[in-house]
Copies of this chain bind each other. A is one copy, B any other.
Amino acid sequence: MKFFSDNAAGVHPRVWDAMRAADQPDAAYDGDRLSARLDEAFSALFGTECAALWVATGTAANCLALAALAQPHGGIVCHREAHIEVDEGGAPGFFTHGAKLLLAEGEGAKLTPETIRATIDPIRRDVHQVQPHAISITQATEYGRVYTPGEVAAIGALARKRTLGLHMDGARFANAVAHLGCTPAAVTVNAGVDVLTFGCVKNGGMNAEALVFFDPALADVVRYRRKRAGHLQSKGRYLAAQVLAMIEDGLWLENARAANAAAATIGEACGERLLHPVEANEVFAVLSPAEQAALHAQGFEFYDWPAPEGAPGAARLVTAWNSDPAHVAALARAIAAL
Residues of A within 8 A of B (CB): 2, 4-5, 7-11, 16, 20, 23-29, 32, 55-57, 59-61, 63-64, 71-75, 86-100, 127-131, 201-202, 206-207, 221, 223-235, 238-239
Contact = CB atoms under 8 A, between A and B. Distances in A.
A226 B229 CA distance: 11
B207 A233 contact: yes
A233 B57 contact: yes
The 3 closest A-B pairs by CB, nearest first: A60-B230, A93-B98, A89-B227
A55 B229 CA distance: 12
A123 to B, nearest CB: 10
Given A57-B234, A59-B230, A201-B234, A129 B89 contact: yes
Contacts of A130: 89-90
Contacts of A129: 86-87, 89
Contact of A231 (B56, B93, B131): B56
Q: How many subunits of this chain does the assembly comprise? A: 4
A94 B56 contact: no
A235 to B, nearest CB: 6
**Contact residues of A: prevailing secondary structure:** loop
Nearest to A97: B97
Given A229-B229, A234-B7, A235-B206, A224 B97 contact: no
Contacts of A207: 56, 207, 233, 235, 238-239
B25 A11 contact: no
Contact of A8 (B27, B60, B98, B239): B27
Contacts of A97: 72, 93-94, 97-98
A129 B75 CA distance: 20
Contact of A233 (B56, B71, B223): B56
A11 B28 contact: no
A57 B230 contact: yes
A227 B7 CA distance: 15
A228 B91 contact: yes
A66 to B, nearest CB: 11
